[in-house]
Amino acid sequence: MTGKKVDNLLLGDTVTDPTLHSAMVYLQSLPPDILKDIAEINVGNPESLVAYTTDSVPIHLGSGDEPAERAKLTETLLAEVQENHLAVQYIDTDVRSPLVKTK
């Protein structure tokens, strides 16, 4: 995770920041074969979390609401990208209107 400074966080400490918590729930909700393709989540703007794949494709996670549902959408949309060999500008996991924006 990038974009947020956390002071004195030690192994075993409880994370109370809601943005970091949402990002962690999102990551924990991804299946291992998808998780390996996530390189980073930027949490610098709490209203616009963005995950990046190892291919540098941004995955917009909004404010981090519904992280488990957004993880399912990520899995579905990344599968669509692979199956159709799409050149992708970004993926938006808005649960009301998910989108793969092609180049």
pLDDT of amino acid 32: 97
> What pLDDT is stored for residue 14 in this prediction?
82
Residue 34, domain member (yes or no): yes
Position 40 scores a pLDDT of 97
Give the model's confidence band at 15: pLDDT under 50 very low, under 70 low, under 90 confident, else very high: confident
Q: How confident is the model at residue 7 (pLDDT cuts 50, 70, 90)?
A: confident
Tell me: the pLDDT tens digits for 57-82?
999 999 999 999 999 999 999 999 99
Task: Examine residue 6 and state whether it is found in any structural domain, yes or no.
Answer: no
**31/5 Cα distance (integer angstroms):** 28
Residue 11 lies in a domain: no
For residue 74, the enclosing domain spans 18-102
Q: Residue 5: what pLDDT?
A: 81
Number of domains in the chain: 1
User: Please, are residues 75 and 31 in contact by the beta-carbon 8 Å criterion?
Assistant: yes
| Each residue's pLDDT tens digit, 31-65 | 999 999 999 999 999 999 999 999 999 999 999 99
Q: Is residue 84 part of a domain?
A: yes
Q: Is residue 89 part of a domain?
A: yes
Burial of 70 by CB count in 10 Å (0-12 exposed, 13-18 middle, 19+ buried)? buried
CB 26 within 8 A of CB 41: yes
Q: Is residue 10 part of a domain?
A: no
3-15 burial code (b ≥16 CB/10 A, e <16): eeeeeeeeeeeee
